C-alpha cells in the first residue's frame, strides 16, 4: 500500500451511479480538474452494516462540502447494478436511498488497486492458476484531491472502523486555508483559527502557487 500524497491522483474511467439512480458508463474525476476539490472515499461492500452509516453521513454533510466547492465521490468494487439496487432501499431498512453524490462501480478492481486500498492481493498457485489472497474489496480509504488533481491528504481505515466526516471537512478547510493564505495549519486547527507562517520547507507557498 503506497502513499499518494503529493502525487497525481490515478486517473480512471468507470461506470457510476449519479443523482441517486442514473447510471453513467464513463465517470471520471478528470471533469473536476481546474474546478473543484474532490473527496474520494472507498468503502468495502454494498448491503453491509457500517458502510451505509458512512454513506449517509457524507450525504448529511453534502451541502457543507458543496459550499466549499468540493465534490464528494464514493467507490466500491460492487457493480453499478448493485449500487442502483441499494439506492432503492430506504434508510430505515438498511439501504442508501437519498444518496445523491456519485458512487463508482470498480468491478475490475483497478481503481481500488491503483489507490492502494485493496484488501488482498492476487497470486499464482503451483499450477500457475491465479488466486486471490483476501476478500479483494476496498479498505475504507479517503483521498482529498486538489483542483490540479494532486492528492493532498489520505486516510485508510480497516474494515470495522468508520470514518469521521467532520474531519474530512476540516481537512478541506485546512487545505483551502493554506492555498488562500500561504500559511500552515497547526494541530487541531479549525476554520476561523489563525495559521502559522511556514519558515521551514515552503510547503504553504508551494500549495498556494500550484
Minimal CA–CA distance to 37: which of 8, 61, 15, 68? Answer: 68
User: Does residue 185 have an active-site annotation?
Assistant: no
Q: What string of DSSP letters covers 44-76?
A: S-SS-SHHHHHHHHHHHTHHHHHHTTEEEEEEE
Q: Is 147 exposed, middle or buried (0-12, 13-18, 19+ CB in 10 A)?
A: middle
Q: Is 77 exposed, middle or buried (0-12, 13-18, 19+ CB in 10 A)?
A: buried
* Distance in angstroms (rounded) separating the CA atoms of residues 173 and 167: 10
* Distance in angstroms (rounded) separating the CA atoms of residues 184 and 132: 43
Neighbours of 70 (CB within 10 A): 23
Minimal CA–CA distance to 43: which of 33, 32, 56? Answer: 56
Q: Which of 51, 74, 104, 151 is catalytic?
A: 51
β strands within the chain, DSSP E? 14-18, 22-27, 37-42, 70-76, 103-105, 118-124, 130-138, 140-145, 151-157
| Enzyme catalytic residues | 51
Amino acid at each position: 500500500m503506497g502513499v499518494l500524497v503529493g502525487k497525481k491522483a490515478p486517473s480512471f474511467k468507470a461506470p457510476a451511479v449519479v443523482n441517486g439512480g442514473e447510471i453513467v458508463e464513463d465517470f471520471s474525476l478528470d471533469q473536476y480538474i481546474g474546478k473543484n476539490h474532490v473527496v474520494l472515499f472507498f468503502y468495502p461492500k454494498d448491503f453491509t452494516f457500517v458502510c451505509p452509516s458512512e454513506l449517509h453521513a457524507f450525504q448529511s454533510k453534502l451541502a457543507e462540502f458543496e459550499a466549499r466547492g468540493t465534490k464528494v465521490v464514493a467507490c466500491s468494487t460492487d457493480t453499478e447494478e448493485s449500487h442502483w439496487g441499494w439506492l432503492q432501499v430506504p434508510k430505515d431498512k438498511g439501504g442508501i436511498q437519498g444518496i445523491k453524490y456519485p458512487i463508482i462501480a470498480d468491478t475490475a478492481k483497478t481503481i481500488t488497486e491503483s489507490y492502494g486500498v485493496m484488501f488482498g492481493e492476487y497470486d499464482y498457485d503451483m499450477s500457475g492458476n491465479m488466486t486471490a489472497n483476501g476478500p479483494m474489496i476496498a479498505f475504507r480509504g479517503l483521498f482529498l484531491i486538489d483542483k490540479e488533481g494532486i492528492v493532498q491528504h489520505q486516510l485508510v481505515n480497516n474494515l470495522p472502523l468508520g470514518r469521521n466526516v467532520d474531519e474530512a471537512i476540516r481537512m478541506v478547510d485546512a487545505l483551502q486555508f493554506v492555498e488562500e493564505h500561504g500559511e500552515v495549519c497547526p494541530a487541531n486547527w479549525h476554520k476561523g483559527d489563525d495559521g502559522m507562517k511556514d519558515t521551514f520547507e515552503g510547503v504553504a507557498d508551494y500549495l498556494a502557487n500550484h
